[in-house]
């Protein structure tokens, strides 16, 4: 089960999740996603629908970059991990 952090300053295309999908222990990862808009569909034959993911990046954090809150359950040994995906 994943825990999510949300705050009023966080943009819609950003998710902050406490998960072990990318490491052996649970860590906080921020996911930033760009989804296709109507104009993107007109300029790309690879995109079929509004909302298709164009790219996504994920990296681990110990603070929320939007509200500054120190996230619960962080490990003292913090190793930077990043994953970048370009889907089209």
Predicted TM-score (pTM) above 0.85: no
DSSP state of 70: B
What's the confidence (pLDDT) of residue 87?
Answer: 67
pLDDT along the chain (88 residues), means of 10: 87 90 82 91 87 88 93 72 69
What's the confidence (pLDDT) of residue 43?
Answer: 86
Which residues are within 8 A (CB) of 48 and not within 5 positions of it... i.e. 6 or more apart? 41
Q: Where are the domains of the chain?
A: 3-86
Distance CA 19, CA 45 (A): 34
What's the confidence (pLDDT) of residue 79?
Answer: 64
Q: Could you count the other beta carbons within 10 Å of the beta carbon of residue 58?
A: 19
């Amino acid at each position: 089960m994943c825990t999510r952090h949300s705050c009023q300053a966080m943009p819609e295309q950003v998710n902050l999740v406490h998960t072990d999908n990318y490491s052996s222990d649970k860590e906080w990862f921020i996911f930033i996603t760009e989804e296709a808009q109507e104009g993107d569909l007109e300029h790309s034959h690879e995109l079929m629908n509004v909302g298709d993911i164009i790219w996504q990046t994920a990296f681990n954090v110990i603070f929320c970059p939007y509200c500054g809150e120190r996230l619960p359950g962080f490990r003292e040994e913090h190793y930077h991990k990043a994953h970048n995906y370009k889907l089209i």
